[in-house]
Structure 1
Amino acid sequence: MAKSAYYEPGTNGVERLPTAMTMFHASPLLMRSPHWHAQVEVNFIVRGWAHYKMSGHEVKFRQGELAMFWGGLPHYLDDASEDLIYAGGHLPLVHFFRLRLPTDVQSRLMQGATLVTSDTDAADPVNFARWNQYARSGDPMRAGVAVNELLLRIERIRFGAYSLLSGDSASSGAPGMDHQTSPIVVRICDYIADNFREDIDSADIACAADIHPKYAMNVFKKSTGMTINEYVNLLRLSYAQALLMLDDANVLHVAMESGFGSLSAFNKSFRKIAGMSPSDFRRDVRGHPSMTGNERAPRELSHQ
Protein backbone atom coordinates (compact mmCIF):
# COMPACT_ATOMS: atom_id res chain seq x y z
CA MET A 1 0.00 0.00 0.00
CA ALA A 2 1.33 3.44 -0.89
CA LYS A 3 1.42 6.20 1.69
CA SER A 4 3.07 9.59 1.32
CA ALA A 5 4.09 9.94 4.96
CA TYR A 6 6.15 7.63 7.14
CA TYR A 7 6.51 7.06 10.84
CA GLU A 8 9.60 8.52 12.47
CA PRO A 9 10.65 7.93 16.10
CA GLY A 10 9.10 10.81 18.03
CA THR A 11 10.75 12.95 20.65
CA ASN A 12 7.82 12.18 22.96
CA GLY A 13 6.98 8.73 21.60
CA VAL A 14 7.48 5.20 22.83
CA GLU A 15 11.23 5.41 22.24
CA ARG A 16 11.53 8.40 24.59
CA LEU A 17 9.56 6.54 27.27
CA PRO A 18 11.34 3.18 27.58
CA THR A 19 10.02 2.49 31.07
CA ALA A 20 6.45 3.78 30.60
CA MET A 21 3.29 1.79 29.95
CA THR A 22 1.68 3.41 26.90
CA MET A 23 -1.44 2.53 24.92
CA PHE A 24 -2.68 3.36 21.44
CA HIS A 25 -5.71 3.06 19.15
CA ALA A 26 -4.83 4.49 15.77
CA SER A 27 -4.47 4.33 12.03
CA PRO A 28 -0.67 3.97 11.82
CA LEU A 29 1.91 5.11 9.33
CA LEU A 30 4.26 2.73 7.59
CA MET A 31 7.92 2.73 8.61
CA ARG A 32 10.71 3.24 6.11
CA SER A 33 13.28 1.54 8.35
CA PRO A 34 13.40 -0.54 11.54
CA HIS A 35 13.05 0.97 14.98
CA TRP A 36 13.26 -0.54 18.44
CA HIS A 37 11.94 0.19 21.90
CA ALA A 38 12.47 -1.43 25.27
CA GLN A 39 8.92 -2.76 25.74
CA VAL A 40 6.87 -5.77 24.72
CA GLU A 41 4.36 -4.62 22.12
CA VAL A 42 0.74 -5.79 22.04
CA ASN A 43 -1.24 -5.33 18.80
CA PHE A 44 -4.95 -5.99 18.30
CA ILE A 45 -6.08 -5.54 14.69
CA VAL A 46 -9.42 -3.77 14.84
CA ARG A 47 -9.76 -3.50 11.07
CA GLY A 48 -7.68 -4.37 8.01
CA TRP A 49 -4.26 -6.02 8.13
CA ALA A 50 -0.65 -5.19 8.99
CA HIS A 51 2.60 -6.73 7.74
CA TYR A 52 5.71 -6.54 9.93
CA LYS A 53 9.33 -7.36 9.26
CA MET A 54 10.69 -8.73 12.51
CA SER A 55 14.18 -9.83 13.46
CA GLY A 56 14.53 -13.12 11.59
CA HIS A 57 10.98 -13.47 10.23
CA GLU A 58 8.00 -11.68 8.69
CA VAL A 59 4.40 -11.83 9.86
CA LYS A 60 1.00 -10.57 8.73
CA PHE A 61 -1.59 -9.69 11.38
CA ARG A 62 -5.23 -9.80 10.23
CA GLN A 63 -8.47 -8.31 11.49
CA GLY A 64 -9.50 -9.80 14.82
CA GLU A 65 -6.05 -11.16 15.66
CA LEU A 66 -4.13 -10.34 18.81
CA ALA A 67 -0.32 -10.35 18.63
CA MET A 68 2.59 -9.75 20.97
CA PHE A 69 6.34 -9.35 20.37
CA TRP A 70 9.48 -7.97 22.03
CA GLY A 71 10.21 -4.49 20.71
CA GLY A 72 13.86 -4.53 21.77
CA LEU A 73 14.79 -6.23 18.50
CA PRO A 74 14.62 -4.03 15.38
CA HIS A 75 11.26 -4.35 13.59
CA TYR A 76 9.00 -2.30 11.37
CA LEU A 77 5.56 -2.04 9.79
CA ASP A 78 6.38 -2.19 6.07
CA ASP A 79 2.92 -2.76 4.54
CA ALA A 80 -0.72 -2.46 5.58
CA SER A 81 -4.24 -2.14 4.26
CA GLU A 82 -5.59 1.36 3.65
CA ASP A 83 -8.23 0.85 6.31
CA LEU A 84 -5.87 -0.48 9.02
CA ILE A 85 -6.79 0.38 12.59
CA TYR A 86 -4.82 -1.25 15.37
CA ALA A 87 -4.90 -0.95 19.12
CA GLY A 88 -2.73 -2.13 21.96
CA GLY A 89 0.03 -1.13 24.28
CA HIS A 90 3.73 -1.15 25.03
CA LEU A 91 4.57 -3.13 28.17
CA PRO A 92 7.79 -2.34 30.05
CA LEU A 93 9.50 -5.47 31.33
CA VAL A 94 8.44 -4.63 34.86
CA HIS A 95 4.84 -5.31 33.74
CA PHE A 96 5.68 -8.11 31.33
CA PHE A 97 7.33 -10.25 33.99
CA ARG A 98 4.31 -9.87 36.26
CA LEU A 99 2.18 -11.66 33.66
CA ARG A 100 1.13 -15.23 34.42
CA LEU A 101 2.01 -16.71 31.06
CA PRO A 102 3.57 -20.09 30.23
CA THR A 103 7.33 -19.84 30.71
CA ASP A 104 8.01 -20.90 27.13
CA VAL A 105 5.93 -17.95 25.88
CA GLN A 106 7.85 -15.40 27.93
CA SER A 107 11.28 -16.79 27.12
CA ARG A 108 10.58 -17.17 23.39
CA LEU A 109 9.10 -13.70 23.05
CA MET A 110 12.21 -12.25 24.66
CA GLN A 111 14.34 -14.10 22.09
CA GLY A 112 12.44 -12.83 19.06
CA ALA A 113 9.33 -14.96 18.54
CA THR A 114 5.94 -13.41 17.74
CA LEU A 115 2.79 -14.63 19.44
CA VAL A 116 -0.42 -14.54 17.37
CA THR A 117 -3.89 -15.67 18.41
CA SER A 118 -7.27 -15.58 16.65
CA ASP A 119 -9.04 -16.52 19.88
CA THR A 120 -10.66 -13.10 20.31
CA ASP A 121 -14.27 -11.95 20.54
CA ALA A 122 -16.61 -8.99 20.07
CA ALA A 123 -15.59 -7.52 23.44
CA ASP A 124 -11.98 -6.94 22.39
CA PRO A 125 -12.50 -3.96 20.02
CA VAL A 126 -14.64 -2.24 22.66
CA ASN A 127 -12.20 -2.96 25.48
CA PHE A 128 -9.07 -1.83 23.62
CA ALA A 129 -10.78 1.46 22.69
CA ARG A 130 -11.81 2.04 26.32
CA TRP A 131 -8.37 1.17 27.70
CA ASN A 132 -6.78 3.70 25.37
CA GLN A 133 -9.25 6.39 26.46
CA TYR A 134 -8.67 5.61 30.14
CA ALA A 135 -4.87 5.58 29.72
CA ARG A 136 -4.98 9.03 28.08
CA SER A 137 -7.63 10.53 30.36
CA GLY A 138 -5.21 12.13 32.82
CA ASP A 139 -7.03 10.32 35.63
CA PRO A 140 -4.54 8.07 37.48
CA MET A 141 -7.29 5.71 38.67
CA ARG A 142 -8.68 5.22 35.16
CA ALA A 143 -5.17 4.71 33.81
CA GLY A 144 -4.49 2.10 36.49
CA VAL A 145 -7.69 0.25 35.65
CA ALA A 146 -6.72 0.26 31.95
CA VAL A 147 -3.31 -1.26 32.70
CA ASN A 148 -4.72 -3.93 35.01
CA GLU A 149 -7.48 -4.93 32.59
CA LEU A 150 -5.05 -5.12 29.66
CA LEU A 151 -2.68 -7.34 31.64
CA LEU A 152 -5.54 -9.66 32.58
CA ARG A 153 -6.61 -9.83 28.93
CA ILE A 154 -3.09 -10.82 27.92
CA GLU A 155 -3.01 -13.52 30.59
CA ARG A 156 -6.21 -14.99 29.14
CA ILE A 157 -4.26 -15.87 25.98
CA ARG A 158 -2.98 -19.01 27.72
CA PHE A 159 -6.50 -20.51 27.82
CA GLY A 160 -6.99 -20.51 24.04
CA ALA A 161 -5.11 -21.47 20.90
CA TYR A 162 -2.10 -19.38 19.90
CA SER A 163 0.97 -19.67 17.67
CA LEU A 164 4.57 -18.68 18.31
CA LEU A 165 6.19 -17.64 15.03
CA SER A 166 9.94 -17.36 14.91
CA GLY A 167 13.03 -17.05 12.79
CA ASP A 168 16.64 -17.85 13.54
CA SER A 169 16.63 -15.48 16.52
CA ALA A 170 14.13 -17.55 18.51
CA SER A 171 14.86 -20.85 20.16
CA SER A 172 12.10 -23.27 21.16
CA GLY A 173 14.47 -24.79 23.70
CA ALA A 174 15.23 -21.55 25.53
CA PRO A 175 15.17 -21.74 29.32
CA GLY A 176 12.15 -20.16 30.92
CA MET A 177 11.29 -18.35 34.11
CA ASP A 178 10.02 -19.88 37.33
CA HIS A 179 7.95 -18.54 40.22
CA GLN A 180 11.07 -17.68 42.24
CA THR A 181 12.87 -15.67 39.57
CA SER A 182 9.91 -13.54 38.42
CA PRO A 183 9.82 -11.21 41.47
CA ILE A 184 13.59 -10.79 41.24
CA VAL A 185 13.39 -9.71 37.61
CA VAL A 186 10.60 -7.28 38.50
CA ARG A 187 12.76 -5.71 41.24
CA ILE A 188 15.72 -5.45 38.86
CA CYS A 189 13.58 -3.81 36.17
CA ASP A 190 12.06 -1.40 38.69
CA TYR A 191 15.48 -0.14 39.76
CA ILE A 192 16.79 0.12 36.19
CA ALA A 193 13.66 2.04 35.13
CA ASP A 194 14.35 4.68 37.76
CA ASN A 195 18.10 4.93 37.21
CA PHE A 196 19.09 3.90 33.65
CA ARG A 197 20.32 7.41 32.78
CA GLU A 198 22.66 7.39 35.78
CA ASP A 199 26.06 5.72 36.17
CA ILE A 200 24.88 2.32 37.43
CA ASP A 201 26.33 -1.17 37.11
CA SER A 202 25.30 -4.74 37.93
CA ALA A 203 26.51 -4.41 41.53
CA ASP A 204 24.29 -1.35 42.13
CA ILE A 205 21.30 -3.11 40.60
CA ALA A 206 21.83 -6.32 42.58
CA CYS A 207 22.18 -4.37 45.81
CA ALA A 208 18.89 -2.58 45.15
CA ALA A 209 17.22 -5.94 44.48
CA ASP A 210 18.79 -7.32 47.69
CA ILE A 211 20.51 -10.26 45.99
CA HIS A 212 24.06 -11.27 45.14
CA PRO A 213 25.36 -9.68 41.88
CA LYS A 214 26.24 -13.02 40.28
CA TYR A 215 22.81 -14.44 41.07
CA ALA A 216 21.14 -11.28 39.73
CA MET A 217 23.03 -11.58 36.44
CA ASN A 218 22.19 -15.29 36.09
CA VAL A 219 18.49 -14.84 36.85
CA PHE A 220 18.12 -11.88 34.48
CA LYS A 221 19.97 -13.62 31.65
CA LYS A 222 17.89 -16.79 32.07
CA SER A 223 14.62 -14.85 32.04
CA THR A 224 15.27 -12.31 29.28
CA GLY A 225 18.06 -13.68 27.12
CA MET A 226 19.96 -10.45 27.82
CA THR A 227 22.57 -9.47 30.32
CA ILE A 228 21.71 -6.71 32.76
CA ASN A 229 24.15 -4.38 31.01
CA GLU A 230 22.57 -5.12 27.63
CA TYR A 231 19.13 -4.22 28.99
CA VAL A 232 20.41 -0.99 30.55
CA ASN A 233 22.01 -0.09 27.22
CA LEU A 234 18.78 -0.89 25.37
CA LEU A 235 16.81 1.57 27.51
CA ARG A 236 19.51 4.18 26.98
CA LEU A 237 19.54 3.56 23.22
CA SER A 238 15.77 3.78 22.96
CA TYR A 239 15.89 7.11 24.76
CA ALA A 240 18.79 8.31 22.60
CA GLN A 241 16.96 7.32 19.42
CA ALA A 242 14.22 9.84 20.26
CA LEU A 243 16.68 12.58 21.29
CA LEU A 244 18.45 12.28 17.94
CA MET A 245 15.19 13.34 16.26
CA LEU A 246 15.50 16.84 17.71
CA ASP A 247 16.64 19.48 15.24
CA ASP A 248 19.40 20.73 17.54
CA ALA A 249 20.55 17.24 18.61
CA ASN A 250 24.24 17.03 19.38
CA VAL A 251 25.56 13.47 19.40
CA LEU A 252 27.86 14.02 22.38
CA HIS A 253 25.07 15.67 24.37
CA VAL A 254 22.68 12.82 23.48
CA ALA A 255 25.26 10.26 24.62
CA MET A 256 25.66 11.94 27.99
CA GLU A 257 21.95 12.67 28.44
CA SER A 258 21.09 9.02 27.73
CA GLY A 259 23.44 7.71 30.39
CA PHE A 260 26.45 6.62 28.36
CA GLY A 261 29.74 7.49 30.01
CA SER A 262 31.57 8.18 26.76
CA LEU A 263 30.96 8.91 23.11
CA SER A 264 32.86 5.79 22.06
CA ALA A 265 30.63 3.54 24.21
CA PHE A 266 27.54 5.23 22.78
CA ASN A 267 28.75 4.83 19.17
CA LYS A 268 29.58 1.16 19.70
CA SER A 269 26.23 0.30 21.32
CA PHE A 270 24.21 2.33 18.82
CA ARG A 271 25.92 0.78 15.81
CA LYS A 272 25.35 -2.71 17.23
CA ILE A 273 21.56 -2.37 17.26
CA ALA A 274 20.97 0.18 14.47
CA GLY A 275 23.62 -0.93 12.01
CA MET A 276 24.85 2.65 11.68
CA SER A 277 26.44 5.36 13.78
CA PRO A 278 24.34 7.89 15.72
CA SER A 279 25.57 10.62 13.36
CA ASP A 280 24.44 8.65 10.30
CA PHE A 281 21.09 7.92 11.96
CA ARG A 282 20.56 11.62 12.68
CA ARG A 283 21.64 12.58 9.15
CA ASP A 284 19.36 9.94 7.63
CA VAL A 285 16.38 11.19 9.62
CA ARG A 286 17.02 14.81 8.74
CA GLY A 287 17.35 13.87 5.08
CA HIS A 288 13.79 12.58 4.93
CA PRO A 289 11.26 15.00 3.41
CA SER A 290 9.02 16.76 5.88
CA MET A 291 5.33 15.96 5.99
CA THR A 292 2.95 18.48 4.49
CA GLY A 293 -0.63 19.20 5.43
CA ASN A 294 -1.87 16.92 2.64
CA GLU A 295 -0.01 13.90 3.91
CA ARG A 296 -1.64 11.32 6.10
CA ALA A 297 -0.46 11.56 9.71
CA PRO A 298 -1.09 9.02 12.43
CA ARG A 299 -4.27 9.83 14.31
CA GLU A 300 -5.82 8.64 17.51
CA LEU A 301 -9.35 7.33 17.08
CA SER A 302 -12.02 8.37 19.51
CA HIS A 303 -15.10 6.31 20.30
CA GLN A 304 -18.16 7.75 21.99
Structure 2
Amino acid sequence: MTNYAELQTRQELADFNLKITRNSADWKMIWEWHEQIELMFILSGKGRKYIEDKSYEFRSGDLFVIPPYKLHRSELTDETGFEALIIIFRPSLREKFCLVDEEEGIEHILNSYADYSPHLRFSEDRLPRIEIPMRAMAEEFVRAQGCSQRYLLASLQILLIEINRVYDEQVTANRATQAERVHFSPIITEIIGYIYEHYRDDLTLAELARLFQINPSYLSRQFKKNTGLTLSAYITGHRITIAKNLLVTTEMNVTEVAFGVGFNNISYFNWVFKNIVGMTPKVFRKESIAGRLMAK
Protein backbone atom coordinates (compact mmCIF):
# COMPACT_ATOMS: atom_id res chain seq x y z
CA MET A 1 0.00 0.00 0.00
CA THR A 2 1.18 3.51 -0.76
CA ASN A 3 2.65 5.38 2.20
CA TYR A 4 0.85 8.72 2.07
CA ALA A 5 2.26 10.06 5.35
CA GLU A 6 1.75 13.81 5.78
CA LEU A 7 1.76 14.75 2.12
CA GLN A 8 2.55 18.34 1.26
CA THR A 9 1.28 20.66 -1.45
CA ARG A 10 3.06 20.07 -4.75
CA GLN A 11 4.45 23.28 -6.22
CA GLU A 12 2.91 22.62 -9.63
CA LEU A 13 -0.48 22.21 -7.97
CA ALA A 14 -0.63 25.30 -5.77
CA ASP A 15 -4.44 25.32 -5.91
CA PHE A 16 -4.70 21.71 -4.73
CA ASN A 17 -3.47 20.12 -1.51
CA LEU A 18 -3.79 16.56 -0.28
CA LYS A 19 -2.64 14.95 2.94
CA ILE A 20 -3.23 12.12 5.36
CA THR A 21 -3.53 13.02 9.03
CA ARG A 22 -3.12 10.48 11.82
CA ASN A 23 -4.34 11.79 15.16
CA SER A 24 -4.28 10.06 18.52
CA ALA A 25 -3.27 10.41 22.20
CA ASP A 26 -3.21 14.08 23.24
CA TRP A 27 -3.62 15.59 19.75
CA LYS A 28 -5.65 18.80 19.66
CA MET A 29 -6.82 21.03 16.82
CA ILE A 30 -7.64 24.71 17.08
CA TRP A 31 -10.50 26.37 15.19
CA GLU A 32 -9.61 27.20 11.59
CA TRP A 33 -11.14 28.48 8.38
CA HIS A 34 -9.81 28.95 4.87
CA GLU A 35 -10.92 30.21 1.48
CA GLN A 36 -10.63 26.75 -0.08
CA ILE A 37 -13.12 23.90 -0.13
CA GLU A 38 -12.15 20.99 2.13
CA LEU A 39 -13.09 17.34 1.73
CA MET A 40 -12.27 15.24 4.80
CA PHE A 41 -12.70 11.47 4.38
CA ILE A 42 -12.35 9.30 7.49
CA LEU A 43 -10.13 6.32 6.67
CA SER A 44 -10.26 4.71 10.12
CA GLY A 45 -11.19 5.38 13.73
CA LYS A 46 -13.73 7.81 15.07
CA GLY A 47 -13.96 11.32 16.47
CA ARG A 48 -15.99 14.50 16.55
CA LYS A 49 -16.14 17.35 14.03
CA TYR A 50 -17.27 20.87 14.85
CA ILE A 51 -18.44 23.11 12.01
CA GLU A 52 -19.45 26.53 13.29
CA ASP A 53 -22.18 25.94 15.91
CA LYS A 54 -22.86 22.26 15.09
CA SER A 55 -21.04 19.07 16.07
CA TYR A 56 -20.96 15.67 14.34
CA GLU A 57 -19.82 12.27 15.55
CA PHE A 58 -17.91 10.53 12.77
CA ARG A 59 -16.52 7.10 12.00
CA SER A 60 -14.64 5.30 9.25
CA GLY A 61 -16.18 5.93 5.82
CA ASP A 62 -17.73 9.30 6.66
CA LEU A 63 -17.05 12.37 4.53
CA PHE A 64 -17.16 16.05 5.49
CA VAL A 65 -17.71 18.67 2.79
CA ILE A 66 -16.66 22.05 4.20
CA PRO A 67 -17.36 25.17 2.11
CA PRO A 68 -15.01 28.18 2.15
CA TYR A 69 -14.91 30.41 5.23
CA LYS A 70 -16.60 27.90 7.54
CA LEU A 71 -15.05 27.69 11.02
CA HIS A 72 -14.25 24.08 11.86
CA ARG A 73 -12.11 21.79 13.98
CA SER A 74 -11.80 18.09 14.81
CA GLU A 75 -11.63 16.41 18.20
CA LEU A 76 -10.67 12.98 19.51
CA THR A 77 -13.28 10.92 21.32
CA ASP A 78 -10.83 8.26 22.53
CA GLU A 79 -7.08 7.65 22.63
CA THR A 80 -7.19 5.47 19.51
CA GLY A 81 -7.91 8.54 17.41
CA PHE A 82 -8.61 8.55 13.72
CA GLU A 83 -6.96 8.73 10.30
CA ALA A 84 -8.32 11.05 7.64
CA LEU A 85 -7.61 11.82 4.00
CA ILE A 86 -7.98 15.57 3.45
CA ILE A 87 -8.28 17.27 0.07
CA ILE A 88 -8.25 21.07 -0.05
CA PHE A 89 -8.75 22.96 -3.30
CA ARG A 90 -9.65 26.43 -4.52
CA PRO A 91 -13.03 27.01 -6.18
CA SER A 92 -11.13 28.43 -9.17
CA LEU A 93 -10.17 24.86 -10.10
CA ARG A 94 -13.63 24.43 -11.61
CA GLU A 95 -12.30 26.24 -14.68
CA LYS A 96 -10.07 23.24 -15.30
CA PHE A 97 -12.83 20.63 -14.98
CA CYS A 98 -13.63 18.71 -18.11
CA LEU A 99 -17.32 18.80 -17.12
CA VAL A 100 -18.78 22.10 -16.03
CA ASP A 101 -22.50 21.36 -15.75
CA GLU A 102 -23.84 22.86 -12.55
CA GLU A 103 -25.00 19.49 -11.21
CA GLU A 104 -21.50 18.11 -11.68
CA GLY A 105 -19.61 21.10 -10.30
CA ILE A 106 -19.22 22.76 -6.92
CA GLU A 107 -22.16 25.16 -6.83
CA HIS A 108 -23.97 23.09 -4.20
CA ILE A 109 -20.91 23.29 -1.97
CA LEU A 110 -20.24 26.98 -2.51
CA ASN A 111 -23.84 27.94 -1.85
CA SER A 112 -23.95 25.74 1.25
CA TYR A 113 -27.73 25.47 1.18
CA ALA A 114 -29.49 24.57 4.40
CA ASP A 115 -30.72 21.33 2.81
CA TYR A 116 -27.14 20.08 2.42
CA SER A 117 -25.41 18.62 5.44
CA PRO A 118 -21.60 18.89 5.60
CA HIS A 119 -21.54 15.40 7.15
CA LEU A 120 -22.17 12.55 4.71
CA ARG A 121 -22.53 8.89 5.65
CA PHE A 122 -22.91 6.37 2.84
CA SER A 123 -24.65 3.10 2.24
CA GLU A 124 -22.55 -0.01 1.70
CA ASP A 125 -23.03 0.10 -2.07
CA ARG A 126 -22.41 3.88 -2.35
CA LEU A 127 -19.24 4.02 -0.22
CA PRO A 128 -16.85 2.55 -2.85
CA ARG A 129 -17.99 5.20 -5.36
CA ILE A 130 -16.72 7.84 -2.91
CA GLU A 131 -13.66 6.04 -1.59
CA ILE A 132 -12.21 4.93 -4.94
CA PRO A 133 -11.66 8.44 -6.43
CA MET A 134 -10.37 9.70 -3.06
CA ARG A 135 -7.74 6.98 -2.85
CA ALA A 136 -6.94 7.33 -6.55
CA MET A 137 -6.06 10.98 -6.00
CA ALA A 138 -3.92 10.11 -2.99
CA GLU A 139 -1.94 7.50 -4.94
CA GLU A 140 -1.54 9.74 -7.97
CA PHE A 141 -0.36 12.61 -5.77
CA VAL A 142 2.70 10.63 -4.60
CA ARG A 143 3.42 8.81 -7.87
CA ALA A 144 7.19 8.39 -8.14
CA GLN A 145 7.26 9.25 -11.84
CA GLY A 146 5.34 12.48 -11.21
CA CYS A 147 1.62 13.04 -10.96
CA SER A 148 -0.77 14.15 -13.66
CA GLN A 149 -2.81 17.25 -12.89
CA ARG A 150 -5.38 16.12 -15.44
CA TYR A 151 -5.72 12.79 -13.62
CA LEU A 152 -6.19 14.51 -10.26
CA LEU A 153 -8.81 16.90 -11.58
CA ALA A 154 -10.65 14.13 -13.43
CA SER A 155 -10.77 12.08 -10.21
CA LEU A 156 -11.91 15.13 -8.26
CA GLN A 157 -14.65 15.74 -10.81
CA ILE A 158 -15.88 12.16 -10.43
CA LEU A 159 -15.93 12.60 -6.67
CA LEU A 160 -17.88 15.86 -6.91
CA ILE A 161 -20.44 14.25 -9.21
CA GLU A 162 -20.99 11.52 -6.62
CA ILE A 163 -21.26 14.09 -3.81
CA ASN A 164 -23.79 16.11 -5.77
CA ARG A 165 -25.84 13.02 -6.46
CA VAL A 166 -25.93 12.25 -2.75
CA TYR A 167 -26.99 15.82 -2.02
CA ASP A 168 -29.71 15.68 -4.65
CA GLU A 169 -31.06 12.49 -3.10
CA GLN A 170 -30.95 14.04 0.37
CA VAL A 171 -32.76 17.19 -0.73
CA THR A 172 -35.49 15.14 -2.42
CA ALA A 173 -35.89 13.02 0.72
CA ASN A 174 -35.87 16.08 3.00
CA ARG A 175 -38.52 17.85 0.97
CA ALA A 176 -40.69 14.75 0.89
CA THR A 177 -40.37 14.46 4.67
CA GLN A 178 -41.06 18.15 5.18
CA ALA A 179 -44.19 17.86 3.06
CA GLU A 180 -45.53 15.39 5.61
CA ARG A 181 -44.77 17.71 8.52
CA VAL A 182 -46.88 20.54 9.80
CA HIS A 183 -45.94 23.70 7.91
CA PHE A 184 -45.26 27.00 9.61
CA SER A 185 -48.41 28.28 11.22
CA PRO A 186 -50.05 31.12 9.28
CA ILE A 187 -49.08 33.71 11.89
CA ILE A 188 -45.41 32.64 11.91
CA THR A 189 -45.36 32.71 8.09
CA GLU A 190 -46.70 36.26 8.19
CA ILE A 191 -44.11 37.32 10.77
CA ILE A 192 -41.24 35.83 8.77
CA GLY A 193 -42.45 37.71 5.71
CA TYR A 194 -42.57 40.90 7.75
CA ILE A 195 -38.99 40.31 9.00
CA TYR A 196 -37.75 39.84 5.42
CA GLU A 197 -39.33 43.14 4.40
CA HIS A 198 -38.51 45.20 7.51
CA TYR A 199 -35.18 43.75 8.70
CA ARG A 200 -33.72 47.29 8.82
CA ASP A 201 -36.25 48.33 11.47
CA ASP A 202 -35.87 47.95 15.22
CA LEU A 203 -37.55 44.55 15.43
CA THR A 204 -38.23 43.22 18.91
CA LEU A 205 -40.41 40.48 20.33
CA ALA A 206 -42.64 43.04 22.04
CA GLU A 207 -43.06 45.14 18.88
CA LEU A 208 -43.86 42.17 16.64
CA ALA A 209 -46.29 40.83 19.22
CA ARG A 210 -48.03 44.21 19.28
CA LEU A 211 -48.17 44.48 15.48
CA PHE A 212 -49.62 41.01 15.07
CA GLN A 213 -51.80 41.21 18.18
CA ILE A 214 -50.36 38.13 19.83
CA ASN A 215 -49.08 37.43 23.33
CA PRO A 216 -45.24 37.89 23.43
CA SER A 217 -44.64 34.69 25.38
CA TYR A 218 -46.84 32.69 23.02
CA LEU A 219 -45.10 34.24 19.99
CA SER A 220 -41.69 33.36 21.43
CA ARG A 221 -42.68 29.72 21.99
CA GLN A 222 -44.39 29.32 18.61
CA PHE A 223 -41.54 30.90 16.68
CA LYS A 224 -38.99 28.55 18.26
CA LYS A 225 -41.28 25.58 17.72
CA ASN A 226 -41.83 26.41 14.03
CA THR A 227 -38.31 27.50 13.02
CA GLY A 228 -36.01 25.91 15.58
CA LEU A 229 -34.57 29.35 16.36
CA THR A 230 -35.39 32.13 18.76
CA LEU A 231 -36.94 35.20 17.17
CA SER A 232 -33.83 37.24 17.95
CA ALA A 233 -31.46 34.64 16.44
CA TYR A 234 -33.59 34.42 13.28
CA ILE A 235 -33.59 38.20 12.79
CA THR A 236 -29.86 38.44 13.45
CA GLY A 237 -29.06 35.59 11.07
CA HIS A 238 -31.09 37.18 8.29
CA ARG A 239 -29.39 40.54 8.82
CA ILE A 240 -25.93 38.96 8.67
CA THR A 241 -26.85 37.10 5.47
CA ILE A 242 -27.85 40.40 3.85
CA ALA A 243 -24.69 42.06 5.21
CA LYS A 244 -22.45 39.39 3.65
CA ASN A 245 -24.04 39.99 0.27
CA LEU A 246 -23.65 43.79 0.56
CA LEU A 247 -19.98 43.47 1.55
CA VAL A 248 -19.21 41.46 -1.57
CA THR A 249 -21.48 43.12 -4.12
CA THR A 250 -21.38 46.83 -3.16
CA GLU A 251 -18.82 49.47 -2.22
CA MET A 252 -20.65 50.40 0.99
CA ASN A 253 -18.24 50.69 3.93
CA VAL A 254 -18.70 48.47 6.97
CA THR A 255 -20.52 51.16 8.95
CA GLU A 256 -22.97 51.74 6.10
CA VAL A 257 -23.58 48.01 5.81
CA ALA A 258 -24.15 47.68 9.57
CA PHE A 259 -26.71 50.46 9.69
CA GLY A 260 -28.19 49.32 6.40
CA VAL A 261 -29.16 45.92 7.81
CA GLY A 262 -30.55 47.16 11.09
CA PHE A 263 -27.62 47.42 13.51
CA ASN A 264 -27.24 50.74 15.34
CA ASN A 265 -23.88 49.95 16.93
CA ILE A 266 -20.86 49.23 14.72
CA SER A 267 -18.91 47.48 17.49
CA TYR A 268 -21.81 45.16 18.20
CA PHE A 269 -22.22 44.48 14.45
CA ASN A 270 -18.53 43.55 14.15
CA TRP A 271 -18.81 41.24 17.16
CA VAL A 272 -21.97 39.51 15.90
CA PHE A 273 -20.60 39.18 12.36
CA LYS A 274 -17.36 37.59 13.56
CA ASN A 275 -19.22 35.29 15.94
CA ILE A 276 -21.47 33.97 13.13
CA VAL A 277 -19.17 34.11 10.09
CA GLY A 278 -15.85 33.44 11.80
CA MET A 279 -14.09 36.62 10.68
CA THR A 280 -14.57 40.36 10.78
CA PRO A 281 -16.59 42.09 8.04
CA LYS A 282 -13.41 43.67 6.62
CA VAL A 283 -11.60 40.35 6.41
CA PHE A 284 -14.67 38.67 4.91
CA ARG A 285 -14.88 41.33 2.21
CA LYS A 286 -11.16 41.10 1.46
CA GLU A 287 -11.11 37.31 1.29
CA SER A 288 -14.33 37.08 -0.75
CA ILE A 289 -13.21 39.63 -3.33
CA ALA A 290 -9.77 38.02 -3.57
CA GLY A 291 -11.39 34.64 -4.13
CA ARG A 292 -13.57 36.00 -6.90
CA LEU A 293 -10.64 37.64 -8.62
CA MET A 294 -8.68 34.36 -8.50
CA ALA A 295 -11.65 32.54 -10.00
CA LYS A 296 -11.71 34.82 -13.06
The two structures have a TM-score, normalised by structure 2, of 0.44
Structure number with larger C-alpha Rg: 2
The two structures have a TM-score, normalised by structure 1, of 0.43
